[in-house]
Amino acid sequence: MKYVKPESFEVASQLLQNESGTSRILAGGTDVLVQLKAEMVEPDLMVDLKHLPGMQDITAENGGYRIGAAVPGAVVGEHDGVKAMWPGVVEGLELIGSTQVQGRATMAGNLCNGSPAADSVPALVTAGAMARVHGPDGARDVPVADIPQGPGKTNLSKGEFITSIFLPARPDHAGDAYLRFIPRTEMDIAVSSAAVSLVLDAAGTCRQAHVAVGAVAPTVRLVEKAGKALEGSQLDSDAIAAMKTAVEAACNPIDDKRGTIEFRTKTAAVLAERAARIAYSRAGGQS
Amino acid sequence: MALDSNPKQDFKIVGTRVPRPDGIDKVTGKAMYGADISAPGMLYGRILRSPHAHAKILSIDTSAAEQAPGVKAVVTSADFANPGDDYFRDIRDNCLAAGKALYDGHAIAAVAATSKSAAKAAIRLIKVEYEVLPHVTDVDAAMAPDAPIVQEGRALENVPKGMSQNVTTHVEFGHGDLDAGFAKADKIVERSFKTAATHQGYIEPQACMASLGADGRGEVWCCTQGQYMVRANCAEVLGIEASQLRVISSEIGGGFGGKTTTFIEPVALALSRKSGKPVKIVMTREEVLRATGPTVSTSMDVKIGMTKDGRITAAKADLRYQGGAFPNGTVEFGAQAAFAAYDLEAVQTLGWSVMTNRPKEVAYRAPGAPTAIYAVESVVDELCQDLGLDPLDVRIKNAARKGTLSAYGPTFDEIGLLATLEAAKAHPHYSAPLGPNQGRGLSCGFWFNFGGNTCVSLNLNDDGTVGVVEGNPDIGGSRASISMMAAEELDIPYDKVRTVIADTSSLGFNDVTDGSRVTFAVGLATIEAARAAKREMCSRVAKIWGLEEDAVTWEDGCVKPAGPNAGEHPPMSLAEIAAIANNTGGPIAGHHEVNADGAGVSFGVHLVDTEVDPETGATKILRYTIFQDAGKAVHPDYVEGQMQGGAVQGIGWALNEEYIYGEDGRLQNPGFLDYRVPVASDLPPIETVILEIPNPGHPYGVRGVGETPIVPPLAAIANAVSRAAGVRLTELPMSPPRLLKAITENA
């Protein structure tokens, strides 16, 4: 295995494009190093990007925040601005691993690992977050929702990698939340999960609602019908029931050691309801 | 010499909470565990494992691996000897498969190379030709007459003809007229239960370094619960004499019964013998889960009859335990323990041992008892619910006590069950209010406890300090407890005593650290060794004073004249006697060798409150209180730790831990991500109430405490969850998908 610490994004991209064998990108390393140790992968090339410009920075931009691809969860979790604006995104990110893992784990890495159960992804999707992707043809911005392709796979091309994730500005009366189900209280992987992002009007009625679920399909799913079911409501029981029906309909999980199809589908809807109520309260709604 | 023969009651040191002698080394990382030992020229061993649950090994071609860079030796089962009995042959065939791979992860061959990466690369060059055979991993499926046969011809004669050859032993216990008993019952509940296999979950994977020279002499350094057991197993499997093999036990990062056998030590020795170099093998967590010993998994039927006022009239249990790919006898313990807490007129337990294509079962705290008692205590709880009876009152009414003819045969002497039940009843936990979706459960627990073969040497140093040499690895704080008992007996400060664990060449044979035996048996031998040293000190002083030996006595840590007729002599302390020992006959030591009896059975009661989320099937443990008879708690911190640790392991067993096998017979969850032991945030503070009803079999009244605490949690939690969820759960673990399904189907 060749380990390279390139001097620029351009060089990194070239190295990755020219590698004929298996390559991996190193940011936090909390997935890659574990896979190496478990002998799941033996890459020919490992490209370390942590040190490149902006990779470790959180910067205010257009009323939102740009978060470098190597910023660890622990740093995001102590950033007052990001926490206040996107508490659901931060709580999803902070659920990954342990305190020790949080010192390294990154949102971009969580996204590129391609797990349907990635904890930071559903809330990034409901936030409408954009990933800045660097590749052989330079930089482009891609919705986070479009990055995952299936378990362990992304839509990034050879030579491409994420350099930052942008969380957009928020209007007043907005809130988001993320919940996952795990059999324990920490140190686990979501059996099902849900993120909800809401924008209310002054009277507390949902004007915009996004609902995404994780671990219930090959990728994190934005459930448009579920969001629509909440819009125009104050989370009354009919709206919630319609939202849950839409969530259940969108689930396409597998039976495995972590949970059954039936269990994942039911709990995804339950978590979506609970997350919606938290997001509503964070947005200033009185339920 | 005034040495008491009844259990001592007044203590200066025993019962206090002194600092542990291994604490600083462990928290600073200085402690030497199994993987921390290295030697010059050492090679790294690695084991090739079967990817199949059941397969005939047609051939193993090691030639390419032998030629690979850095490789110094490759071994297969052909490099082992042929021990004379089944017990050792099974150990041998589990260390390296002979003829057939019997489970996913079964060791097939091993290499030793100059680096870990060279060993890893060489493993892939070993060509094994398999003929895959049908497999079976479920206990009930394995008992079916047409089930794939794991091993032929292993059944004992007590197994009825016509059963699957996978059924290897049958046991039966009990007394009384069952039919008459059930006829007297107002209510009979009969239920079937299943429990998944669980692993001990020790944090330190098995690790060893072994050296075996051309002269036939060898050393093994390893983490184990018994260095003498490792010596015996290795000597038999390698075909060498016990005297030529010295086994040194390292610090141990948990065992819980799982380190009472060998997996890698004979392999490392074989590699060392072939290569002429020391060989280290360290198992990965995946290897630990796939190929070391989990518990049995079970299928059980229990039937109990009760009168309206809560008297049990008859009780029956039929227990089917699978213990992996080799014969095992764990069901016998389950069948004996099942109804031990009850005073019954009519009782019968049947047990069946079954082989499956799973790893060979190894002891796990109170092996066999937690599952059987889970089934029994679940049915007792359901009867209490059905008849509107208080579950503690019912257990008090039926409790075994002194004079009870136990369900497994013996008549009980002094036992602490009634006292623990009454302590539970009086505790504020039992009457605390419960909220919605909350339930309270309780269960009794029982373990036999064990004494066993034990040797201790106690040496006086010329500066007045004392060294104790004992032969059992310290897995639960025994060095502290043994030092405390030595200090108590010699009436010297605790910090004047250091206890060390001998290698197999430095002390006579000791049974493994199991059966909750060490504080009891090694403690007993230590006290007796101290008494022997005291007799010797009295003898020396008598000579100095020119008196007969019976004219001096040991009192308050000194030798004194026994009475006014002995004349005026200033008392001599241990330090004063030790300082001049060279002039009075040489070094002073005490020894004791015993096959200790009188361990005394142990009972406990666990009380637990749970809350169930009816929408997700998640269970939260809200409150947990343990009541247990310790006889005498030598070091209460360690006793509480044993009680709490058992509860935590039981919580994992009840809620999430399970061996999950796929259709292909392969283990699906060989890692701590999907084999879910509880994490700290899953647990409430676990309150402990230690009762001290002295054990007449020990000079200080000590009873073993290490195993009973894992027995009640399964049933206590199942009863609490069943009450909280409003539906009786009959399968472990009560994982959220299983619990949500039960709630949904009950709605």
What pLDDT shows up at residue B7?
81
DSSP H helices in B257-329 = 265-275, 285-291
Task: Calculate the dihedral angle through the C-alpha atoms of B449, B455, B457, B458, rounding to the nearest 10 degrees.
Answer: 20
Please check whether residue A183 touches B, CB under 8 A. Answer: yes
ipTM of the complex as predicted: 0.95
Dihedral angle sign, alpha carbons of residues A217, A218, A222, A228: negative
Measured CB to CB, residues of chain B less than 8 Å from chain A are 120, 286, 615-618, 655-656, 660, 668-669, 673-674, 676, 678-679, 681-682, 735-737, 740-741, 744
Give, in order, the Cα–Cα distances in Å from A108 to each of A49, A83, B466.
Answer: 12, 17, 61
CATH of the domain at A225: 3.30.390.50
Give, in order, the Cα–Cα distances in Å from B229 to each of A26, B127, B235.
Answer: 47, 33, 10
- Please give the residue of chain B at the shortest CA–CA distance from A264: B737
3-class SS of residue B342: strand
Average pLDDT, chain B: 96
- Please give the residue of chain A at the shortest CA–CA distance from B660: A257
**Considering only CA atoms, which of B474, B521, B523 is closest in space to residue B502?**
B474
- Give the integer Cα–Cα distance in Å for B277 and B42: 6
Q: Quick check: B3 pLDDT over 60?
A: no
User: Which chain B positions have a beta carbon within 8 Å of A241's beta carbon?
Assistant: none
**Residues linked to residue B409 through DSSP beta bridges, in sequence order:** none
Is the domain of A193 the same as that of A233? yes
What pLDDT shows up at residue B5?
54
Is the domain of A162 the same as that of A183? no
**Residues linked to residue A65 through DSSP beta bridges, in sequence order:** A60, A167
Please check whether residue A238 touches B, CB under 8 A. Answer: no
Please check whether residue A37 touches B, CB under 8 A. Answer: no
User: Which chain A positions have a beta carbon within 8 Å of B744's beta carbon?
Assistant: 266
3-class SS of residue B127: strand
What pLDDT shows up at residue B648?
98
- Which pLDDT tens digit goes with each residue over B213-230? 988 899 999 999 999 999
- Which pLDDT tens digit goes with each residue over B535-567? 999 999 999 999 999 999 999 999 999 988 888
Spatial contact of B319 and B151, defined as CB atoms under 8 Å apart:
no
User: Which chain A positions have a beta carbon within 8 Å of B666's beta carbon?
Assistant: none
Is the domain of A181 the same as that of A262? yes
- Which pLDDT tens digit goes with each residue over B683-726? 999 999 999 999 999 999 999 999 999 999 999 999 999 999 99
Confidence of residue B2 (pLDDT cuts 50, 70, 90): very low
Cis, peptide link before residue B570, omega less than 30° from 0: no
- Reading across the β-sheet that carries B312-322, which strands appear in turn? B167-175, B347-354, B312-322, B297-306, B187-195, B731-732
Q: Count A/B contacts: CB-CB distance under 8 Å.
A: 53
Of B120, B616, B682, the CB nearest to A184: B682
Of B673, B682, B736, the CB nearest to A185: B682
Q: Do A191 and B736 touch (CB under 8 A)?
A: yes
The Cβ-side half-sphere exposure at B53, using a 13 Å CA radius, reads 22
Instruction: Specify the CATH class of B413-449+600-747 in words.
Output: alpha beta
User: Which chain A positions have a beta carbon within 8 Å of B668's beta carbon?
Assistant: 256-257
CATH code for B451-596?
3.30.365.10
Nearest-CA distance B94 → chain A (Å): 24
Please check whether residue A203 touches B, CB under 8 A. Answer: no
Is the domain of A123 the same as that of A255? no
CATH of the domain at A75: 3.30.465.10
User: Which chain A positions have a beta carbon within 8 Å of B669's beta carbon?
Assistant: 257
**Considering only CA atoms, which of A286, A219, A194, A281 is closest in space to residue B615?**
A194
Q: What is the DSSP letter of B710?
A: G
Residue with tokens 């799913």: A221
Q: Quick check: B480 pLDDT over 70?
A: yes
Parallel, antiparallel, or unpaired for β B167-175 and B127-132? unpaired
Nearest-CA distance A269 → chain B (Å): 10
Report which residue type is found at A37: K
- Give the integer Cα–Cα distance in Å for B616 and B462: 67
Q: Do A188 and B740 touch (CB under 8 A)?
A: no
The pair of three-digit structure tokens given for residue B727, joined into one six-digit string? 């539906």
What pLDDT shows up at residue B215?
87
What pLDDT shows up at residue B565?
86
Nearest-CA distance B616 → chain A (Å): 6
What pLDDT shows up at residue B1?
38
Phi, psi of B545, rounded to the nearest 5 degrees? -85, -5
Of B681, B736, B744, the CB nearest to A186: B681
Parallel, antiparallel, or unpaired for β B731-732 and B187-195? parallel
User: Which chain A positions have a beta carbon within 8 Å of B674's beta carbon?
Assistant: 257-258
The pair of three-digit structure tokens given for residue B282, joined into one six-digit string? 């360290």
Dihedral angle sign, alpha carbons of residues B184, B188, B192, B196: negative
Of B679, B736, B737, the CB nearest to A185: B679
Is the domain of A17 the same as that of A147? yes
Nearest-CA distance B670 → chain A (Å): 11
Task: Mutate one of B124, B615, B655 to test the A interface: name it (highest A CB count within 10 A).
Answer: B615
The pair of three-digit structure tokens given for residue A33, joined into one six-digit string? 């190093």
- Which pLDDT tens digit goes with each residue over B353-380? 999 999 999 999 999 999 999 999 999 9
- Which pLDDT tens digit goes with each residue over A183-217? 999 999 999 999 999 999 999 999 999 999 999 99
Last residue of a domain, one of A167, A201, A225: A167
The pair of three-digit structure tokens given for residue A130, joined into one six-digit string? 């954009």
User: Which chain B positions have a beta carbon within 8 Å of A262's beta carbon?
Assistant: 737, 741
Nearest-CA distance A254 → chain B (Å): 13
What pLDDT shows up at residue B366?
98
Give the CA angle between residues B604, B606, B609 to the nearest 5°.
175
Is A287 among the domain residues?
A: no
For A217-236, letters b (16+ CB in 10 Å) and e give bbbbbbbeebbebbbebebe
Please check whether residue A187 touches B, CB under 8 A. Answer: yes
Q: Do A270 and B616 touch (CB under 8 A)?
A: yes
- Which pLDDT tens digit goes with each residue over B563-585? 888 889 999 999 999 999 999 99
Is A179 among the domain residues?
A: yes
Of B656, B740, B741, the CB nearest to A184: B656
Q: What percent of the residues of chain A are helix, what percent strand, and what percent coil, each to the nearest 5? A: 35, 25, 40
Neighbours of A192 (CB within 10 A): 29
Total structural domains within chain A: 2
Task: Mutate one of A266, A271, A273, A277 to test the B interface: name it (highest B CB count within 10 A).
Answer: A266
Q: Do A186 and B615 touch (CB under 8 A)?
A: no
Spatial contact of B201 and B649, defined as CB atoms under 8 Å apart:
yes
Report which residue type is found at A267: T
Is the domain of A138 the same as that of A236? no
The pair of three-digit structure tokens given for residue B556, joined into one six-digit string? 């308050």
Q: Quick check: A39 pLDDT over 90?
A: no
Q: How far is CA B44 from the centre of its chain?
A: 30
User: Which chain A positions have a beta carbon within 8 Å of B741's beta carbon?
Assistant: 260, 262-263
Q: What percent of the residues of chain B are helix, what percent strand, and what percent coil, each to the nearest 5? A: 30, 25, 45
Is A153 among the domain residues?
A: yes
Neighbours of B1 (CB within 10 A): 14
Nearest-CA distance A250 → chain B (Å): 19
For chain B, give every domain's residue range: 413-449+600-747, 451-596
User: Which chain A positions have a beta carbon within 8 Å of B682's beta carbon?
Assistant: 184-185
Nearest-CA distance A1 → chain B (Å): 13
- Which pLDDT tens digit goes with each residue over B309-340? 999 999 999 999 999 999 999 999 999 999 99
Weakest-pLDDT range from A249-253, B78-82, B523-527, B546-550: B546-550
Task: Mutate one of B612, B676, B732, B734 to test the A interface: name it (highest A CB count within 10 A).
Answer: B676
Phi, psi of B74, rounded to the nearest 5 degrees? -130, 135
- Please give the residue of chain B at the shortest CA–CA distance from A189: B673
Of B676, B681, B737, the CB nearest to A263: B737
Is the domain of A163 the same as that of A63? yes
Q: Quick check: B4 pLDDT over 60?
A: no
Is A199 among the domain residues?
A: yes
- Give the integer Cα–Cα distance in Å for B201 and B652: 10
Phi, psi of B741, rounded to the nearest 5 degrees? -65, -45
Q: What is the mean pLDDT of residues B619-648?
A: 97
Using left for φ > 0, alpha for ψ between -120 and 50, and beta otherwise, residue B193 falls in beta
Who contacts A57 (Cβ-Cβ below 8 Å, separation ≥6)?
A66, A68, A71
Last residue of a domain, one of A167, A199, A224: A167
- Please give the residue of chain B at the shortest CA–CA distance from A193: B616
Give, in order, the Cα–Cα distances in Å from B235 to each of B46, B102, B111, B244, B327.
Answer: 21, 24, 21, 9, 22
How many angstroms separate the first and last alpha carbons of chain A?
A: 56
Is A50 among the domain residues?
A: no
Nearest-CA distance A191 → chain B (Å): 10
Q: Do B618 and A189 touch (CB under 8 A)?
A: no
Structural domain of residue A261, as residue ranges? 174-282
Report which residue type is found at B566: A
- Which pLDDT tens digit goes with each residue over A67-109? 999 999 999 999 999 999 999 999 999 999 999 999 999 999 9
- Give the integer Cα–Cα distance in Å for A158 and A160: 6
H helix or E strand, kind and range, residue B395: helix B391-398
Q: Do domains B413-449+600-747 and B451-596 have the same CATH topology?
A: yes
Please check whether residue A262 touches B, CB under 8 A. Answer: yes
Q: Do B618 and A183 touch (CB under 8 A)?
A: yes
Is A49 among the domain residues?
A: no
Of B286, B678, B737, the CB nearest to A259: B737
Q: Do A257 and B741 touch (CB under 8 A)?
A: no
Q: Do B679 and A187 touch (CB under 8 A)?
A: yes
Last residue of a domain, one of A167, A197, A225: A167
**Considering only CA atoms, which of A210, A185, A197 is closest in space to residue A90?**
A197
Who contacts B161 (Cβ-Cβ below 8 Å, separation ≥6)?
none
Nearest-CA distance B660 → chain A (Å): 7
